[in-house]
Amino acid sequence: MEGTTEPILVVIGDPIAGNPAQFALERSLRAMELDWRVLSFDVTPENVAAAIEGFAVTGIVGVMIARELSASAGSWNTHKNKIETQSVDCLWRNDTGHFSAADQLLDWLQTQIQKFQHGKQLWVGNQEATVPLEPEQFERFALDHSGLADEIVKASVIALSADDSTEADFDKEEWPENTGETLVIDLGAAYSLVSHLRQQGYLVIGEDEFRVGALQHCILQWTGKTPSDDVVIDAIEEYLSV
């Protein structure tokens, strides 16, 4: 039997069931007329390093790593490549044939933040969010302090995390109308608050946008091409609606 000759990508998660990445990747590759294969595997955190080393000696050209395993992949990269790394969600072959690693979600988020440089960057709420950001680049605002409205007006980027808070901690009236000049990164705020902010005109990016951005950046790294937003979004929505 002839072996597989087309490039192979791998998605790992814990568990992998319910992760739309393989479906979205296959749709994206097909839309770009690339005859690539995508495989998915369940991998527990303690086995991430062994799995990556196994993939490294095969012809697999890239690996996408689910968020729940990204810290373990970061530890692998720190040990293997002697590069201090907090998290990794994407691997690709470099010029030497070995795996290079990056957190493409973080890279994507930073590209969004760079578009909003006219004001300060404000972090409201819990700074121990699961989505990677660099807290030191933000000015912290504690929810038990007054004056949030004044700080919002000065900010061009707001990281909003309420994992350890209740909706009552947020006064919607403190959020003035916006003309899309302020980026809000939703890291776990109440749905009703986020919906209100969108109605007020803020540009809000959250879990759905994170998925799309990370997928697009990984695909660009692997193929040199970027699938359209519509293709990725439609695939994710179709998968999650099943």
Instruction: Work out the end-to-end distance of the chain between its first and last CA atoms, rounded to an integer number of angstroms.
Output: 35
Q: 198-225: per-residue pLDDT in tens?
A: 999 999 999 889 999 999 999 999 999 9
Return the exposure string of 92-104: e unless at least 16 CB atoms fall within 10 Å of the residue's CB, then b.
Answer: bbeeeeebbbbbb
Q: How is domain 8-102+208-241 classified at the CATH fold level?
A: Rossmann fold (3.40.50)
Spans of all domains in the chain: 8-102+208-241, 109-205
The encoded tokens of residue 178 equal 């916006």
Q: What is the pLDDT of residue 127?
A: 73
pLDDT of 37 higher than 90: yes
Average pLDDT of every residue of the chain = 89
pLDDT of 1 higher than 50: no
pTM for the predicted model, two decimal places? 0.86
